């Protein structure tokens, strides 16, 4: 799978990306039923992983502010999980963030996403205090990683 994977930027209105973002929201609402909203900042840019013409995963990257970028909406379709797609997406997002001048990346995930927590920790992301809208969110877990 990894050798056949193409990761590329896609516009917000790309049909493959729109579908992935919809699937990501559906999964978030299943895991966090009390949640009511998950807006994505309009300046978020996206990378999409494609395999065999299908969009199989995506990752969003917020603009770099004071050297820090932020990962948003990391999602891989369930039938493609465990094949290295998420690792490749994160590596690509880190490269883009470095190119944009980031010295670190941060992200928020949640206590009901243990597979995401394991992935981020295995890639060198470390827990940080909650930030922004996550400060008062008891299920939120925040992480950051310096970018060399």
Mind listing the pLDDT tens digit for each residue in 58-99? 999 999 999 999 999 999 999 999 999 999 999 999 999 999
Residue-wise pLDDT for 4-46, tens only, equals: 899 999 999 999 999 999 999 999 999 998 876 667 889 999 9
Residue-wise pLDDT for 130-141, tens only, equals: 999 899 999 999
Domain, as residue range, for 82? 2-146
Distance between CA atoms of residues 83 and 63, nearest Å: 28
Tell me if 76 sits within 8 A of 49, measured CB to CB: yes
Task: Provide the number of structural domains found in the chain.
Answer: 1
How many other CB atoms are there within 10 angstroms of residue 64's CB atom? 19
CATH code assigned at 104: 3.40.630.30
pTM, entire model: 0.93
Tell me if 17 sits within 8 A of 27, measured CB to CB: no
């Amino acid at each position: 799978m990894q050798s056949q994977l193409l990761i590329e930027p896609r516009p917000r209105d790309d049909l493959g990306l729109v579908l992935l973002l919809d699937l990501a929201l559906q999964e978030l609402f299943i895991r966090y039923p009390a949640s009511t909203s998950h807006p994505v900042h309009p300046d978020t840019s996206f990378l999409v992983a494609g395999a065999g013409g299908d969009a199989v995963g995506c990752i969003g990257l917020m603009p770099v502010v004071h050297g820090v970028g932020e990962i948003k909406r990391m999602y891989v379709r369930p039938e493609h999980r465990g094949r290295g797609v998420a690792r490749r997406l994160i590596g690509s997002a880190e490269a883009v963030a470095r190119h944009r001048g980031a010295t670190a990346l941060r992200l928020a995930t949640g206590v009901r996403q243990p597979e995401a927590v394991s992935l981020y920790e295995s890639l060198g992301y470390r827990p940080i205090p909650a930030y922004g809208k996550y400060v008062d969110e008891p299920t939120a877990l925040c992480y950051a990683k310096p970018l060399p």
